[in-house]
Structure 1
Amino acid sequence: MAVSELVRTELARHDWASLGCGCGDGAEHLPLMFEAILEAGSARDMSGYTLDGHVEWNGEIFACTPPAVAVVMAALAGELSPPARDELVDTLWRVSAAEFYPDHAIEERTRSAAVGGFWPLVRIGLTGNAERALTVADIVEWLELDAERGEHYRRLLRERALAKTKRPRPRRF
């Protein structure tokens, strides 16, 4: 798959070298990491490339996380291979579960970047499998949308998960 112009624009918008990364270095390597993930057509093509340990690590987010989440949301708005989509949604889920932030402003900028890509995220949850629907429901809860809107979409996503859960067929005698 090709990296979309929207993603390239979002990647170019940030000074990655000035941002701290979960690996302990500057985040200047993240654009290449994103490109490798987004261009991968299969899990094998993506081998060795992950955002885990860079955008978030062990429940902590970093200075690179808000712009990285903006790139994730831009990418989710386009066509992706299943492994690339899964890596991005799983990264977003791990970010949403983070408990440690360098400061409150980073947490808020991260959440704001994710809210900006709400619709493609919900589409993925409503059209994916049960696990994906539950993952997106967890992310929607973290987004802290207004009460009615957030509850509505969490309920829809959980219903989707329940409907997609395989149940054993009754035995016929």
Structure 2
Amino acid sequence: MMEETRAKLIQAARKAFAANGYAGASMDDLTAEAGLTRGALYHNFGDKKGLLQAVIDQIDAEMLARMRTARQREKTTWLGFLAESMAYIEMALEPEIQRIMLLDGPAVLGDPSQWPNQNACLETTAQTIQALIDEGTVKPMDAEAAARLINGAALNASIWIAAADDPRIVFAKAVEAFGHLAAGLLQKEH
């Protein structure tokens, strides 16, 4: 029952945050949409900010699954690494991700690089870079430092796209520049 209540609230909040933004989402409307009370919201999430964090966690898990799929479609670790990064940047074109993950999330919850889910993402990127170093594809360097810089570039590109007047134009610029930046890690041209 508790999981069903949480799921209903997250679904209603996700819809409200995407349509109206965090600030414009009414907790009374949201709980009514879910067929629940404000008490259920406070009991399960503490407050509106806690509910936003739960929505972000759900969207983040979906984004990670999509990125993993993009990586697994490729024939080499390097191409998978690029595909995963590009998939993340491309998701910044989606209105729900723009609004909730890239605009409202940082405004309400602070720097996305400090969110708890970012540690797992950073660790995965560092492991991939270390594997690329070990196989001789990427120049020897500190894998954590490279992962932090690559993840930061992808995150900033995504925020730039989300905030742009014309996200598609910015996306094209960001993808081209990101590709050149990532290629700087290579031992030789791939």
TM norm. shorter chain > 0.5: no
TM-score for both structures, normalised by structure 2: 0.30
Larger Rg, first or second structure (1 or 2) = 2
TM-score for both structures, normalised by structure 1: 0.32
> Which is helix-richer, 1 or 2?
2
